[in-house]
Structure 1
C-alpha cells in the first residue's frame, strides 16, 4: 500500500490501481466537457442554415464560454468551503441539464440558453479534476498526471469535430448534444464510485451560515454582470450595431461600473476569507504573469478552432466531416505536446521550459496559418496547424503548475480556478472579437464588390451556403472576400501568441521538487499565520501544512 500523501491539510491513501481508477474517472469527466467545446466546430454552419442565424454563430460558443468563465472563481470558493466531490458531481449534473435543453432546442435562443446552462456546469469540472489531483498526488509527480488529463481534454477536442461532422452529415446536429446524456450518466456513476477525497477537517469546522457568508455573493454578482456586459458589447460592436452606438457604449460603461464595484468589494472586505480573490493571488506577480500567459494561449487557439472549419467549408467547399478531418493536426499536435510537456515538466521539476517552448512554436505556427489562401496545398495547411498545436500543447498546462507551486495549500482551489477563469474568459472575449471583425469586414468589403446584392440577406444564408444564390462570377468574388475576412480573424491568434512572450520570459524559476530551503523561502511570501511547517514525505518531497489544520499538524509532528 502506498504511503499517504499530505497536501493542503488533507490525507489520503491510494495504491496504484486505485489511483489509476480515480484518474480514469477524472479523465472521463474532462473528456465530456472537452468534447462539448469543439463538437460545434463543424456543425455550426448547418445549425446556422436551419435557424437562419449566421449572426448567432459566436453566441453558440460564447454562451457556453461566458458562464464557463464567469463562475470559475465562484466554484473556487465552493471547492474551498464544501465537499470537493459533491460540488464536482453537481457541476457535471448541471452540464447534463444544459445538454438536454440544447438537444431539444426549437430555435437559436433556446440553444443559447442551453449552452449557457451547460457552461455553468462545465465551469466546475476541469478545475475540480485538478483539485482532486492536488489532494491525492504529490507536487513533484503531479505534472505528469495533469499532462494526461490535458491530453484527455485534447483527445476530446479531436473527436469533437469528427463526431460533430459525422452526426451532422448522417443524422442531425442535435445528437452533438444528445450524446452527452448517456456519456454523462456513465461519468457521474464512475466519479461517484471511484473518486474519494480525504475528509477536510478545516471545512467541517465551518458552520453553514459562515460558509455562505464567505461565498462573496455580492462580488460574484458584480463580476458576472460585468463580464456579461463586456461580452455583449464585443459581440454587438461593429456588427449588429456601430461601435459608437448608444447600446454598445452603455454596455461598456456598465461593465466598467460593475468591475469597479467588484474591485471595491474585494478591497473593503472585512476579512480575507470573504474575498473572492485572496491576497496571496493578488500580490504575486508570477501568478498574474501566468494568468496573462494562459489568456494568450487559450484565446488564440479557440479563435483558430472556431474559424478554421468555417474557412474549410465556406471557402474550400469541404463537408462538415471533412472540415473536422482538416482540423485534426492542430488538436492532435496539442494532445501530443500536452502529454510530452507534462512528462518533461515532471522530470526536470520546472515549468518555465514548457512556457518558453510553447510561445516559440505557437508564434511560428500562427504566423504560418495566416498565410494560407484559396490555393494553399493541403500539406501546408496540415503542417502549419500541427506546428501551432504543438506550441499550444506545450504551454497550456504550465500556468496551473505555477499556481500549485507558489500558493499556500489553502489558496490553491481559488488559484486554480483563477487560471481557468483567465483561460475561458480569454476564449469568450477573443471569439467575440473574431466574430466582430468577421462581420464588420464582410459588410465593408462585400458592398463595393457586390453593390447590387443585399449584403444582410447574403450573411443570413449561413456559412455552408454562403453565396449559393449568386451568379457563378459573383459567387467567386464573394467567396474570395469571405476567405480574406476569415484569415483576418486568425491574426488574433498570432497577436496573442506574440504577447505570451511577456509571461513566458517574466515568470521566475521555481522548482516543483521542493527542498527544505525552497519551502521556507516560499512560505516567507505567504500571509502571516499561514506558514505552518515543512513536512517530508517518504518519497522525498516536502509539503507546507498550515497551522489551521491542527489535526494534520499534530500527526506530522
Structure 2
C-alpha cells in the first residue's frame, strides 16, 4: 500500500483549518453589507448561529464515522460539503436562502475540524502531536488577524458574494491533495449506525445550543419547555447508548474522571477566550476611543502567542505532567483576568496588548493540551470520537459563556442607565463605536463610558468564575 505524504497532508489540513477559521470572522465583517443587500436585519444573527449549530450537532456523528469507516472518506465528504455550501451561499438571493445554505456549510465544517485533528493524531507520534496541533490552532490566530482586513477589501473592491466564493478554490485544492496523497488501510470494521443514539444526541444538542443562544430573549414558558426537552433527550440518549452494540458516543470514555475534567476545562476556557476576544475591541472603541481597525489589533498578540503556547505545552507536559501544566497556565489566565478587573477606566493601549500576550500563551497551551490528552485517554478505536467530543465542548463553551456574558453585560448596563435619567440605550449603542460617539453631547460621554466600563467589568467577573471552576476541575481527578 502507498504511504501517506505526511508533509502534503499536513499542508492540506492547515488549508482546511484556515478555510473554516476565516469563515466566522470574515462573514461578520461583511454582515452589514449583506443585510443591506438582502434586507434581513431581524434574522441576521441566524446566519452565524445556524452555522455554529450545525457544526456542533454534526461533530460527534462524524467523529464516530471516522473511527468506523476511516478518516479519508469522512474528511473528503466534509470538505466537499463545505465547498458546495460556500458556493451556494455566494448565490443566495435573500436571507432565508443564505441561512439554509449556511446549514450545508455548517454540516461540512462539522466534519472538517475534528477529523483534521484526528488525522494529525494518526500521522504524528505523541511527542510531536502537541506541536502540530498547536501549529494547526495557530491558523485560527492567523485567520482572526487576516479576516477583518480581507473581508473589508472584498466588500469594497469586489462584492460580499466573494466572502463565500473564496472558500471554493482553497477547498478544491485541499480536496485534491487529500485524494492523491492520503492513504489509509482499507480495513474498516463493520458497523451499524446508532440511529436512536444519533437522533437523541442531535435533539439534545439542538435544544441545548438554541437555549443557550437565545436565553436572554426567550419567555419563561418557552425556556421551561426547552429545559424539559433537554432532560428527556439526555435520558433517552444515555439509555440508547447503553443498548447500542456500536454506540455513537461510547459511554466508557465518559467514565474516566480525567477525561471529564479535561473536557470541562476545555468548555470553560473556550468561553473565556470568547469573552476576551469579543469584548476587548468594544473596550478599545467605547472607552479608549480607538478606531475599529486598531481596536481589533488589541487582541492580535493573543493570536500570535496562541501558537507559542501550543509549542511550549509539549515540553511542559513532559516535565511537569498534565495537572501541573494546567495549573501553571490557569494561573496565568487568573492573573490576566484580575488585571482586567483592577485596571482604571482610562488604561493605555499597550497594557491590553500585554494582557493579550499572557492570555494567548495560556489559551494556546490549555486548548492544545486538552486536545492531546483527550486523544491519549481513550482506546485507539475511539480517538475520533474523543477528538470530536473535545471539539463539541469548545462550541458548547463558546455558546454558553457568550450567552452568560451578554445577559451580565446587558443587566449591568440597564441598571446603570436606570440610575442616570439623562442617559438612554440609544446613546449606549453609539458610545461603543468610536465613529458614532462623535454624535453624542461631549458632557455625556464620560458618564456613558463609565456605564460601559461597569458592564465590561461584569463580563470579566464571569470569566473569573469560569477560571476558578477550571482550577477545581483540574484538582478533582485522580492520576492513574
With structure 2 as the length reference, what TM-score do the two structures score?
A: 0.86
User: Counterpart of 1:221?
Assistant: 202
User: Counterpart of 2:389?
Assistant: 418
* Contact kept? 1:100, 1:178, Cα under 8 Å: yes
Residue 491, structure 1, aligned to residue 472, structure 2: no
Aligned residue among 286, 292, 313 for 1:320: 292
User: Counterpart of 1:193?
Assistant: 180
Matched residues in 2 for 1:411 and 1:462: separation? 46
User: Counterpart of 1:366?
Assistant: 337
Residue 230, structure 1, aligned to residue 211, structure 2: yes
Residue 68, structure 1, aligned to residue 55, structure 2: yes
* Contact kept? 2:200, 2:236, Cα under 8 Å: no
Question: How far does the alpha carbon of each residue in 1:324-375 deviate from its partner, in whole angstroms, 9 at most, with x for none?
Answer: 2222112112121112223554x55944443222211111112223344552
User: 1:473-488, aligned counterparts within 5 Å?
Assistant: 473-488=443-458
Residue 82, structure 1, aligned to residue 82, structure 2: no
Shift of 1:79: 1.7
1:275–1:451: structure 2 CA closer, same or farther, 3 Å change rule? farther
User: 1:31-430, aligned counterparts within 5 Å?
Assistant: 31-39=18-26, 61-100=48-87, 103=90, 115-164=102-151, 167=154, 175-202=162-189, 205-206=190-191, 210-211=192-193, 213=194, 216-234=197-215, 237=216, 240=217, 247-269=219-241, 271-342=243-314, 344-345=316-317, 348=319, 350-372=321-343, 374-430=345-401
1:175–1:344: structure 2 CA closer, same or farther, 3 Å change rule? farther
1:265–1:63: structure 2 CA closer, same or farther, 3 Å change rule? closer
Matched residues in 2 for 1:186 and 1:166: separation? 23
3-state SS of the aligned residue for 2:444? helix
Structure 1 unaligned spans of 5+: 1-10, 242-246, 511-557
3-state SS of the aligned residue for 2:412? helix
1:190–1:226: structure 2 CA closer, same or farther, 3 Å change rule? same
1:64–1:390: structure 2 CA closer, same or farther, 3 Å change rule? same
Matched residues in 1 for 2:25 and 2:51: separation? 11
78-87 or 383-392: which moved more? 78-87
User: 1:6-17, aligned counterparts within 5 Å?
Assistant: 13-14=3-4
1:490–1:215: structure 2 CA closer, same or farther, 3 Å change rule? same
Matched residues in 1 for 2:342 and 2:195: separation? 51
User: Counterpart of 1:8?
Assistant: none
Matched residues in 1 for 2:145 and 2:411: separation? 30
Matched residues in 1 for 2:433 and 2:92: separation? 20
Question: How far does the alpha carbon of each residue in 1:225-248 deviate from its partner, in whole angstroms, 9 at most, with x for none?
Answer: 3224422442xx2xx46xxxxx24
User: Counterpart of 1:531?
Assistant: none
Measured on the aligned residues, the alpha-carbon RMSD in Å equals: 3.5
3-state SS of the aligned residue for 1:303? helix
102-111 or 347-356: which moved more? 102-111
Shift of 1:436: 2.6
* Contact kept? 2:286, 2:431, Cα under 8 Å: no
Matched residues in 1 for 2:286 and 2:93: separation? 25
Matched residues in 2 for 1:53 and 1:471: separation? 32
User: Counterpart of 1:24?
Assistant: 11
Shift of 1:425: 0.8
328-337 or 92-101: which moved more? 92-101
Shift of 1:114: 5.1
Matched residues in 1 for 2:418 and 2:290: separation? 26
With structure 1 as the length reference, what TM-score do the two structures score?
A: 0.75
Q: How many residues align?
A: 480
Structure 2 unaligned spans of 5+: none
1:326–1:484: structure 2 CA closer, same or farther, 3 Å change rule? same
3-state SS of the aligned residue for 2:120? helix
* Contact kept? 1:468, 1:475, Cα under 8 Å: no
Matched residues in 2 for 1:172 and 1:140: separation? 45
More helix as a share of residues: 2
3-state SS of the aligned residue for 2:299? helix
1:501–1:50: structure 2 CA closer, same or farther, 3 Å change rule? farther
1:110–1:232: structure 2 CA closer, same or farther, 3 Å change rule? farther
Matched residues in 1 for 2:362 and 2:455: separation? 25
Matched residues in 1 for 2:445 and 2:99: separation? 31
1:295–1:194: structure 2 CA closer, same or farther, 3 Å change rule? same
